[in-house]
Structure 1
Amino acid sequence: MKILIIGAGCTGSALAHIIKKCSSREIALTIWEKSAGCGGRMATSRFPADSLGESCSLDIGAQYISNVEKYQQAHADFYEDLKSSSVLTRMTGEVEGALPDASPTQHYISSKGLSAIAKHFVAQSGAELCVKTRLDSIRLDSNGLMATANTGNSALFDYVILTIPAPQILALSGIDSLLDSTEKSLLEGVSYSSRFALAVKLPAGFTPPVSWTGLYVTDNPCVRFICIDSKKRGLATSSTLLVHTGVPYALKNLERDKEDAGLIEDIFTHVQQVLPWLPTESKVLRCHKWRYSQVHHAIHGEPGYFNPKSTSNLLLCGDGFTHSNLDGCISSALKTWTYLESSLQGSTRQ
């Protein structure tokens, strides 16, 4: 039995972990990830040593994990595993300007960077991880599904599970023949917020003169959130900042290249307005464009996944079928496994 998972973000990695843990069958798991590593929208970027000192890393997507009361029991095994493996620890830093929690909520960070969550799940799954490998096309075969990567390589799988954002699913070559008009409409109804992320390194020895670790900004047309990433993670390195723009600013500039010097300068100027103490010699390490940041409208009812009518061998899942946070991804992975387990049992009986 060969299963291909597309995407090594939180849903794909959690699903691989669940399949390995729960399946009684011998399954060869493969994960194709288009970027250079695991994490998806919980990515951690690493930067080599430079003129401002030692190497560093920053979370450039999600900044911390919020485990709300609804999921604290349902997903307890996952959190205990991540905590006992020193992947997650309780967040102690102050987040200024955050809205009050609507219910008892536990907040977590990872000193290793939040991409460590996906890396941990993938390592536990034993899956073959193929990075810099993007699914370009998919077609139905008499013996399963034929998947072709950007590398030109094609392979036949018994099941293919897509965990990527809905617009990327719809853009796949061959997907039109696997989805009917109603299914396409469902995916077209999934919408996402967008934002830019700016990674900034402060001069060696400089300590930000503030008590907060994270700051929500409401009075700037560009900046929405700032995190002192090094402080959040308790790192004994030069201070690093991660800046997220607001959604309106991102939508206005969405088609600009993330390496556009004018765009980077504009965002940094707004950061200086919010943080007048920011040293002028601070260095912008990277600007990242999150075209699909958080799910704005998920598929109605949050089913967790769906299986197209054309074939039982293709599954679509991810936060577009639930909601955007770690618990949403775990929920999607669990519901996908419930279907997959039933399908595998059915094929065994046949």
Structure 2
Amino acid sequence: MALKVLIVGSGITSAITCNYLRERCRSSCRVIVWDKARGVGGRMSTSRSPTMDSCTADLGAQYITTVPENIEASKVVYSTCFTKGLLHPLQSLIEGMHTFPKNTVHYVAPRGMNSLVKEFLTADEVQFNRLVTSVTQNGNKLDVETKDGYKDTFDVVVLTMPVPQILQLSGCVESVLSDDKEKREALSAVKYSSRFAVAYFYDKTLEFDVPWSAKYVVDDELLRYIAIDNKKRNSSATSAVVFHTTVKFGEENIERDVADVQRDIEKHINTLFPTWPKPVSVKCQKWRYSQATAVYEGSPGCITLIQEPLLIAGGDGFTKSTFDGCITSAKAIVNVVEKYITKELAVEGNR
């Protein structure tokens, strides 16, 4: 007997959770992933130019910062990334980068950040355009329903979306948190920054008149970060430039129409870089939940909302918004799920 496990969200926490479950519970569970988007990645998504497949840009996470101890602690994940060429050492200049401890190392994803998610998302089934709106307890099962009315039943449900989206779910999540005010308050205290990201896509490889591959902008009311994305990724691929707004601009404009915001951002970019070539196409991404600025108290990696049937929540809101933070959360999730599966199968075997 294999338990049916649903993971809501297809970001890096979900992907690594899938990978660990496949290693440790291969024959005892069937893992299904639902995501509201049209593709994998979450905040590690990689966008492609609508006119040229070779032109891609990371609109979310830009590079991975870690230390040797964390690489050793997550050897399986990192060795896969290194062996398969998914991560390369950062070789170019990022101007204005924070000062890090001496042994800190930085990596880029030559094929885009979502290549990491795709590598580890070893689910039995992945379905897109599934916006979950409710989770309802049905005996020893959980019924999960989407915005368009699609419904299915699972033995275990893992929520990896941003915490504010978890708080919006109806059904047993709502009722559990009504009874457990302490847990609701702790979840409500989790906060995220908001920002916009814009990608300029080109139809050839260009040289820009700057010495850096990426730069943190200081004292600009609108832009915080700029990256010549192919240069940052040590790639000779077609050029793409990424711009991230300040958190302040993001929070002040998050409810506006994206097309209107895009026009304002492009106008500002043209003022700062009037000699840069015009892009072939432009994409503007709204990140309502960009990075966790205040995480769940104690950074537990995940929390259990219902013990039986098992409903748990995890992700960077329960650790920190880094690659290592997401790995930590995935490990915590899998520890809980594996114990539950082992217990359930033992009970089933004794019947």
Q: TM-score, normalised by structure 1?
A: 0.92
Partner of 2:23: 21
SS, match of residue 308 in structure 1: strand
1:178-221 CA-to-partner distances (Å, cap 9, x unmatched) read 32222221111100011100111346464102221110001211
Question: Which residue number corresponds to residue 43 of structure 2?
Answer: 41
Structure-1 residue corresponding to 2:213: 213
Q: Does 1:327 align with 2:324?
A: yes
Gaps of 5+ in 2: none
TM-superposed deviation, 1:265 = 2.5
Compute the displacement of 1:343 (Å): 1.8
Change (3 A) 1:271 1:154: same
Give yes or no for the alignment of 1:278 onto 2:276: yes
Pairing partner for 1:134 from 131, 135, 145: 131
| Contact 1:58 1:240 (8 Å CA) reproduced | yes
The residue that corresponds to 1:115 in the other structure is 114
How far residue 233 of structure 1 moved from its aligned partner, in angstroms, is 2.5
Counterpart amino acid of residue 236 in structure 2: A
Aligned to 2:242: 242
Which one-letter code corresponds to 1:331 in the other structure? T
- Structure 1 residues 150-159 or 307-316, which shifts more? 307-316
Cα distance in 2 for residues equivalent to 1:309 and 1:240: 45
Name the counterpart of 2:265: 267
Does structure 1 conserve the Cα–Cα contact (< 8 Å) formed by 2:55 and 2:202? no
Shift of 1:35: 0.7
Task: Give CA deviations for 1:144-188 in whole Å, capped at 9, x if unaligned.
Answer: 100112342211100000000011001112121232222221111
Identify the residue that residue 62 of structure 1 maps to in structure 2.
Answer: 61
Q: Secondary structure at the match of 1:176?
A: helix
Match of 1:100 in 2: 99
**What SS does the aligned partner of 1:198 have?**
strand
Q: 1:292 aligned to 289, 293, 297, which one?
A: 289
Q: Distance in 2 between matches of 1:209 and 1:36?
A: 36
Opposite residue 217 of structure 1, the aligned amino acid is: V
CA distance, structure 2, for counterparts of residue 204 and residue 309 of structure 1 = 53
d(CA) in 1 for partners of 2:208, 2:53: 18
Contact 1:220 1:274 in 2 (8 A): no
Once residues 158 and 298 of structure 1 are traced to their aligned partners in structure 2, the CA distance between those partners, rounded to angstroms, is: 28
* Correspondent of 1:158 among 155, 160, 167: 155
Does structure 1 residue 342 correspond to structure 2 residue 344?
Answer: no
In structure 2, the partner of 1:3 is: 5
1:84-129: per-residue Cα shift (whole Å, max 9, x none)? 122222221110111121241221111211001111111xx24200
Q: Is the 8 A contact 1:54 1:238 kept in 2?
A: no
How far off is 1:311 after superposition?
3.9
1-structure distance, mates of 2:160, 2:305: 14
Could you list the per-position Cα deviations for residues 276-330 of structure 1 after superposition, in whole angstroms to 9, with x for gaps in the alignment? 4323x33451111100000000011100000025645101000000000111000
Equivalent pair of 1:178/1:311 in contact (CA under 8 Å): no
Q: Which runs of 5+ in 1 are unaligned?
A: none
Distance 1:96 1:276, change over 3 A: farther
Q: Report the Cα offset of residue 239 of structure 1.
A: 2.0
User: What TM-score results when the alignment is normalised by the length of structure 2?
Assistant: 0.92
Partner Cα separation in structure 1 for residue 291 and residue 126 of structure 2:
25
RMSD value, Cα: 1.8
Letter in 2 for 1:13: A
Give secondary structure in 1 for the equivalent of 2:165.
Answer: helix
| Matching residue of 1:307 | 304
Q: Deviations over 1:239-294 (max 9, x none)?
A: 2100000101111111112122xx22321233234434323x33451111100000
How many residues align structurally?
A: 342
Q: Distance in 2 between matches of 1:30 and 1:44?
A: 22
